[in-house]
Amino acid sequence: MTAQKKIIVIGGTGYAGSAIAREAAKRGHTVSSVSRSTPAERIEGVTYLTSNVADIGSAIVGADVVIGALSPRGANVGALAKTYGQLARQVADAGARLILIGGFSCLRRTPGAPRMLEVESFPSEIPAEIVAEAKENLDVLNNLLTDATGVDWLFVSPGLEFSAWTPGEDLGHYRIGDEVALFDENGKSAISGIDFARAVLDEIESPTRHRAQIGVAY
């Protein structure tokens, strides 16, 4: 039987964060969601805290895992890497594990190849704010790769199709691709919110990688 863990989900009201919080609560863990506002519909078994990341020090005391599922939008534009850098120090001091949800373009096409964002351009129809978000996520990853706090971190990149607009189906399985992007036999890279959350919780309950990046897709 898996030991119950205290899990803090920062950005737990967003697409990825809420899926992870729901799955964690379903598995019997003690789950707190931290965001600037509380959702209209709450997940049973999840405690909701209203706070800025800079002020959550007391909330992570005693935590086993802290998950960052923030998007570089709104107040986070241009500040996500710095915010997560501060969080890494707090989590290291708390002796917890840090899991950050990143972006698809931070992955590599093949082993040893550059990360996609480093050598590939986005299609012209992609909004500028989406491109900016991807670049901030790469900044976050690069900071983790040179982290000196010693925090036990994991950077998780979902498949290309992963959002509230492309929710996908509950297929009950997934694949892990380390730093290399995963595609199916039709060249599609996708993962549903629920199967992505399962991958994250499976890694929390039975860790297989430390201070590393992984990709999750079908």
pLDDT, tens only, 154-203: 999 999 999 999 999 999 999 999 999 999 999 999 999 999 999 999 99
Separation of alpha carbons 19 and 139, rounded Å: 24
Q: DSSP string covering 78-115, please?
A: TTHHHHHHHHHHHHHHHT-EEEEE--GGGSBSSTTSPB
**What letter does residue 123 receive in the DSSP assignment?**
P
Do the beta carbons of residue 47 and residue 97 sit within 8 Å? no
Tell me what pLDDT residue 76 has.
67
Tell me what pLDDT residue 1 has.
60
Tell me what pLDDT residue 79 has.
86
Which two structure tokens, joined as six digits, stand for 200?
Answer: 């994250």
Identify residue 158 by its one-letter amino acid code. P
- Report yes or no on whether pTM surpasses 0.75: yes
Which CATH code fits 6-217? 3.40.50.720
Separation of alpha carbons 97 and 63, rounded Å: 8
Cβ density class 127-156: b for 16+ within 10 Å, e for less: eeeeeebbbbbbbbbebbeebeeebbbbbb
Q: Tokens 């950050």 identify what position?
A: 100
Do the beta carbons of residue 91 and residue 123 sit within 8 Å? no
**What letter does residue 3 receive in the DSSP assignment?**
P
Give the residue ranges of the chain where pLDDT is below 70.
1, 54, 74-76
